[in-house]
Amino acid sequence: MKITFIVVNYNTKDLLVKCIINLLSIQPNLPKNEIVVVDNGSYDGSTEEISSLFSLQVTLIKNPQNSLSSGHNLGFMASSGEYIVHLGTDCFPTADAINSLINYMDEHSDVGISTGKVTLRDGSLDMDSHRGLVTPWVALTHLSGLDKLFPTSRLFSGYFLGYMDMSKPHGIDTCISHFMFIRRVAYLKVGLWDTAYIVYGEDLDFCFRMKQANYKIMYLPDVKILHYKGAGVGRKTTSDLVNASRSDKKHLFKIRQETTRAMKIFYKTHLAKNYPFFINWLVYLLIFMLAKTRELMYLVRGSGY
């Protein structure tokens, strides 16, 4: 098997169906491939719909917990592809994009992960697919807005790597798990996704470990992928899309909490050992303050962000 597509779903039934239809439509133009869907305990009828419509074309796995990391792991353990493609239900690659990535990875054995120009519905680049390592300085420049004031400065734009030439292929530190093209042998060397992360930070951690294993992560601008972005976590930018959990206030509040919990886990696991105690104390304090601010903003503004 050349490719395994792994799609993790939570309460985005309609998007999931569109995602699978897209993958089935490009299958004839790809090397031998398979589709694995992991459902994280949806209550919107997702599993019933997939079983009814695609029982012969899709391997469906039911995950009792709503954890993106554990979903990725279950999907990988059921896979057999030489390359693994993690994508969200709101991501729609073309056959040309997948074939381009296959050709590139076949020719570059030192690359463990590749991604393309992941674009939003308005045509702009999804900057979360093109990120640097989030050190304390990089986090400070991002949260303070300095990276927006100086978007092409090497000193201030480390979060989204805005100083790089976006028209040419180049290495990055992190891409999002909503579209991540991974070499299987590199995957096996790095290991499974860290289940300490529930919905945010898991891709940052996985990419960090990939680079520690001496594999490159490449951004290829000629490869285009459409991403609706945020459908699974209730972003207002996707309020026109059906999502059964959008009205689940408890779930959306937890999602907001996970943004900062993931920061603390990543920093404590990978970066804290590189800094003196007073820097670590300051980082943890700022994360705590940010968490409380985001919780308050959620309570004031309501669902979505």
Could you tell me which residues are beta bridge partners of residue 15? none
Domain identity same for 117 and 256: no
Domain identity same for 88 and 230: yes
> Residues of the chain with pLDDT > 70: what percent?
92
Domain identity same for 122 and 177: yes
Dist. CA 136–CA 141, nearest whole Å: 9
- Give the count of domains, the chain: 2
Per-residue pLDDT reduced to its tens digit, 255-285:
888 999 999 999 999 999 999 999 999 999 9
Dist. CA 180–CA 206, nearest whole Å: 11
Domain identity same for 200 and 302: no
Beta strands in the chain (DSSP E): 3-9, 33-39, 59-62, 83-88, 91-93, 111-119, 170-171, 179-183, 216-227
pLDDT of residue 231: 63
Dist. CA 82–CA 5, nearest whole Å: 11
Amino acid identity at 111: V
Q: Give the structural domain span for 271.
A: 247-305
pLDDT of residue 303: 52
**297 pLDDT more than 70:** yes
Residue 165: which pLDDT band, with cuts at 50, 70 and 90?
Answer: very high
Could you tell me which residues are beta bridge partners of residue 86? 6, 180
Pick the range with the lowest mean pLDDT from 175-179, 202-206, 229-233, 288-292.
Answer: 229-233
Nearest to 113 by CA among 6, 224, 4, 217: 217
Domain identity same for 47 and 176: yes
- For residue 171, count other CB atoms closer than 10 A to its CB: 12
Domain identity same for 176 and 298: no
Q: Does 74 map to a domain?
A: yes
Dist. CA 243–CA 97, nearest whole Å: 27
pTM assigned to the model? 0.92
Domain identity same for 30 and 175: yes
